[in-house]
Amino acid sequence: MNLPGLSCTGQSSITPAAVDLRPETEWRFEVGLDSIVTVKVLQGHAEIFGTELAVGPTYTFTTTKLSIFTWRGCRFEWSGDPLAEYISEESVMGSYANLHFALEKLRMQAAEKDTQYNKEVIKEVDIITSGSGQEGEGPRVLIIGPRNSGKTTLAKILTAYAVKMNRCPMVVSLDPKEGMLSLPGTISAASFSTMMDIEEEESWGSSATTGPMHIPPKNPAVYYFGSDSPTDNIRFYKSLVSRLSLAISSRLAVDHKARISGCIIDAAGIIDQKEGYDLIDAIVADLSVDVVVTIGNERLYNDLLKRYQPRKQIAVLKVQRSGGVVEHDASYMRSIQRQMIKQYFYGPPKTALSAFTITADISAMTVYKRSEQSHLVSSSALPIGSDETTAMLSLVTKIEVSPALQNAILAVLYASPGDTEDDIAEASVMGFVHVLDIDEVKKKLKVLMPIKARLPSQVYLVGSYHYLE
């Protein structure tokens, strides 16, 4: 029996239900895979993850867990079949806003330093093209915490608020489980100067596509790790983070606005004291992090405070975990990942695209996989005259195209078959293809591509992700 007002299950609303939110409260709701919830703001100010909702238009959501927050109060109506929906008066948005203002102060200080360094420069174009590591640089913020602690949500809020201040932050996603502006299994970075698309499943927005979009796309730098957890291959993961950091530094060196805005880095939820802390140290060093924000773990905060407090240039802060954060079980994450893969080839519901199927020779495809045993061989097991440096195993290994690749998602790399294995391991992603069928008798394979073109003569990298239509 459900008592009035205590039901945790969602209600199906055929006719729109109106909700009045008081200032600094939020309406939390969850939408299942096969359900849709629509929201229309009638009056006042409302936002999702820092991105403001316009008054009048109808927003559609599916397969998501979100909250609508208001600073000054609002009225909206919703309809659909949510898994759960309720109003919460316990919001952490105040502390998140305070963190944003602290970061904005650092950006203002960086801008002042940059102005002093370039006080003789008159034209803005000259400032932009005179990139120098000696100029003012905004904060590089690393957000870390346990899995399902709200790290990505905080990153979205800080990004949205920075964009509202006419900043252009470099957003870095180091969690391969979710991906950002790309498919699962990737780490990526993109400069954000426009609002995010809150109706997208991942709500970061969209990368460049062949169809029309109502929000400007982002052009991320993407590297393919190939599985959910960095601990699946720590050495390969660290190598990709180092390579991504070089790409970020190159962009910031020539982009004055992005350099002043700094970086917002969303880390993976690996915080154990052995492998997790080692990964944190590597990220802090590679990305020159100067602000570490912990969320949802008091012990983590104190451990890192002791670890980095002697380094005066690194500040360690903590914020509260939102009560609206919910656990993402394995089945839910798989449904999200499947949806992201499907939309890459066929587009989101509001912008349907046409994928193309081509048939090619098996010999035309050069495929590599991540080496599973990429570590230093013990010196006691080395041949006489060898050392640990020469015994380093390659990060990637070439494989034969076989029926095992059927239904696999392959990353198309900016690498040619003649490149070295080291170059292939550090290559960024051009795009993705889906192997539909492999005929060993005819030596043919059928491949799904997002655009109509010939099969790229690039190197392909296979991970653990498969997709069955």
Ligand-binding site membership of 245 (annotated): no
- pLDDT, position 391: 41
Q: Known binder of ligand: residue 150? A: yes
Whole-structure pTM value: 0.88
State CA 341 to chain mean position distance. 14
Q: What's the average pLDDT block by block, 10 residues per block, for the chain (469 residues)?
A: 42 79 95 89 96 94 91 96 92 95 94 61 36 68 91 94 96 92 94 87 68 74 94 94 96 91 92 81 95 92 89 88 79 86 84 87 94 54 45 83 94 96 95 94 93 91 92
299: phi then psi, degrees, rounded to nearest 5: -65, -40
User: In a 3-state reduction of DSSP, which class is residue 121?
Assistant: coil
**Is 85 marked as a binding-site residue?**
no
With respect to CATH, is domain 93-319 assigned 3.20.20.70?
Answer: no
Give the pLDDT confidence score for residue 218 in this predicted structure.
82
Instruction: Tell whether 151 is in a known binding site.
Output: yes
The Cα 196–Cα 202 span in angstroms is: 10
Sheet holding 140-144, edge to edge: 221-224, 186-191, 170-173, 263-266, 140-144, 291-295, 315-319
* CA dist., res. 27 & res. 196, Å (int): 20
135 is in an annotated binding site: no
CATH for the stretch 355-466: 2.40.30.330
pLDDT for the residue numbered 115 = 61
What is the dotted CATH code of the domain comprising 13-88? 2.60.120.1030
pLDDT attached to residue 12? 55
**Is there a binding annotation on residue 26?**
yes
What are the sequence ranges of the domains in the chain?
13-88, 93-319, 355-466
CB 417 within 8 A of CB 459: yes
